Amino acid sequence: MTILDELEWRGAINQQTDEEGLKSLTEEKSIALYCGIDPSGDSMHVGHLIPFMILKRFQLAGHKPVILIGGGTGSIGDPSGRNSERVLQTMDKIMDNADKLSAQMRKLFKAGSEESGIKLVNNYDWLSGLSFLDFLRDFGKEFNINTMLAKDVVSSRLDTGISFTEFSYQIIQSVDFLHLFQNEGVQLQIGGSDQWGNITAGLDLIRKKEGAEAKAFGLTIPLLLKADGTKFGKSADGAIWLDPDKTTPYEFYQFWFNQDDRDVVKYLKYFTFLTKDEIDELAEQVETEPHKRAAQKALAEEMTRFVHGKEALDEAISISQALFSGDIQDLTADQIATTFKDVPSSEAAKGEHNLVELLVDITGIEPSRRQAREDIKNGAIRLKGSQIQDVDYVVSEKDSYDNRFIIVRKGKKKYFLINLV
């Protein structure tokens, strides 16, 4: 398959400005292309990955991607997909966010290194030197207000209002495309479906400045929705971040592993570099042996390895297997802190405690002493993975994790975290 054939098979193409022209160009030569991200936060989440995975596919097909960090555009604020004005961040915060996003791009894609073939640029480098008068004379003159008002990104905001700052965003992003066309030979911009208006504005500017024969193209990716119609990329606790301090590798692994059978093949196509044959085989297993969750396991492993590395993947698998089997005694205190942070928790003093008193009086895990004794005798209570059936059992440091936590398992699936203080 050609690169565009592959993207079509993966369901990763929404709109193209000139399908035949781009197909001919990419088959004729190696092209430069770009995608950008504004530093509105200090980490990407999984939704941000989609267009950059497409850049990587182009790179693997012999093309020359450019990743743009929007230090300049990020100081303005993209109105796309919003029904209200953004709150402007300080320039210090924007620069700090830009540095962190750049570090993520270097880690994930080796962006900026010669070996990767992927360039890393920041549009603050050229936008910050542009004077207000030059902006109006050299670029503002090329944009028709009526055309700008007709763009969805602007027209959708006319009822609620849009500032001149955000109104001008499409001009500034167009300047980026022109700059990269002139200085890096970039002929293709990739973005989410909400970027269509900004991308086509950039193409218009290139043709006005470089002539109607200038070969430049735009391609957008579909909005990724889950089978239930909700937006992809969030769990019950919020966004799934690439920063391990925001979303741990174990949580990251579990996010992918828990995907619906109706979605998993689509995500394998979007996010992994598995071949068509490999994905077709996994798709067949979803149909014939869904209980084995082979596709979800492959997705979780591929994504966790790609984002966090093999060591983090191995640890995530180890934690998952321990929880599934109930053999949690070998987990470390740090792993306990990560894995059980969302289960019901309470506090107890360090030292020795009668098990019944600990379950009832100190933590409230059990509603009464009678119920506690009954559950203990029936083998429903486990400490550090071990079944306890002695109602006079004394809980001590040996039942803890590094004298920081005690994990009580009640029945098959109910876990409780006791913080030792």
Annotated binding site for L-tyrosine: 34, 169, 173
Residue 276 neighbours by CB under 8 Å, 6+ apart: 1, 9
239's enclosing H/E stretch is strand 238-239
Return phi, psi of residue 285, to 5°: -70, -30
How many CB atoms are closer than 10 A to CB 371? 15
Query: What's the token pair of residue 386?
Result: 């071990």
Radius of gyration (C-alpha) of the chain in whole angstroms: 27
The residue to which tokens 């929880």 are assigned: 323
Residue 296 neighbours by CB under 8 Å, 6+ apart: 256, 257, 258, 259, 264
- Known binding-site positions: 34, 169, 173, 234
- What is the identity of the amino acid at 308? H
Residue 309 neighbours by CB under 8 Å, 6+ apart: none
- Known binding-site positions for ATP: 234
188's enclosing H/E stretch is strand 186-192
Cβ atoms of 242 and 236 closer than 8 Å: no
Query: What's the token pair of residue 102?
Result: 């750049």
Angle at 92 between CA 44 and CA 43, to 5 degrees: 10
Q: How far apart are CA 319 and CA 315, in angstroms?
A: 6
- 3-class DSSP state of 79: coil
Residue 112 neighbours by CB under 8 Å, 6+ apart: 102, 105, 106, 118, 119, 120
Q: How far apart are CA 110 and CA 108, in angstroms?
A: 6
